[in-house]
Structure 1
Amino acid sequence: MICYRLRCAAGHEFEGWYRDSATFAQLQAGGFLSCPECGHADVQQALMAPAITKNRSDAPVSGPISESPVASAPERVASAGLPDQMVAAFQKIRQAVESRCENVGDRFAEEALRMHHKEAPERGIYGQASEEDRAMLAEEGVDVLSIPWVRRADG
């Protein structure tokens, strides 16, 4: 996990945690980032000192999501222990994915591959995928991105 210091166009600074730099770039390019204080969507990295961790076992579990056309395949993560602002940001991501994409459930890998091969219409999708499915999609050149999937804001 990477922790970035972020700044919105209004000047508010906050932290964001991402699986890797590519995940951050995809979320930023897809418009899935916003300031937890004012909601502004123009979010950039701020200057920060790097952090080095000793133990990767503290990283939260996540599921795949890709930029477009394949929009996501989330898995639930416990939000206990996460800062409230982080949970709120993940809830906004979840809401955006659920409102803009089709839930294909455990058919995620199959449907993503069909879209990649132009056998199904391009659209945003999300669902579940095993590690084997993710590896197969990567071999086929289908970009898939993992995102934390926390409880709904209204739930």
Structure 2
Amino acid sequence: MKFEVDELDHGIIKHLSKDGRLSFTELAIRLQVTEKTIRLRYKNLLDKGFLEVVGVVNPLAVGLKAGAIIQVKVKSNSISKVIEDLKEIREIRFITLTSGEFPILFQITVKDQIRITEILREVNKIECITEVNTIIQLEVHKNTFEYIF
């Protein structure tokens, strides 16, 4: 049986994506249902993989003030190998396969420009990478965990 996310589930997800510390009681009040209903729906959303509970770190608060988006070109048939190598670099927080000239894009958030340079040196040692394009983030104006679906 396929699990469908209904309007109530959407409401739970929407509220928690804005404030993950909302109590079940507060969610029940806002969504005009019982607390028991919220508890059951919440558990179901977790069990079905629609919702994950994590603590999100404010990078500035922990001294991470520099960021970059890095695109890489790779040799033929080596995308999977390069992705596995990139996963080993701790500061890489996001890796995605993309269309276009640069098939891999990843993002880093680090303490300073010196660490960006060090990571770029590590990346350039990965054998199958043929070209790197680095985009330094100057200011972040929106960073949300709210998904519209």
Pairwise TM-score range, normalised by the shorter structure: under 0.3
TM-score by length of structure 2 reads 0.21
Higher helix share: 2
TM-score by length of structure 1 reads 0.20
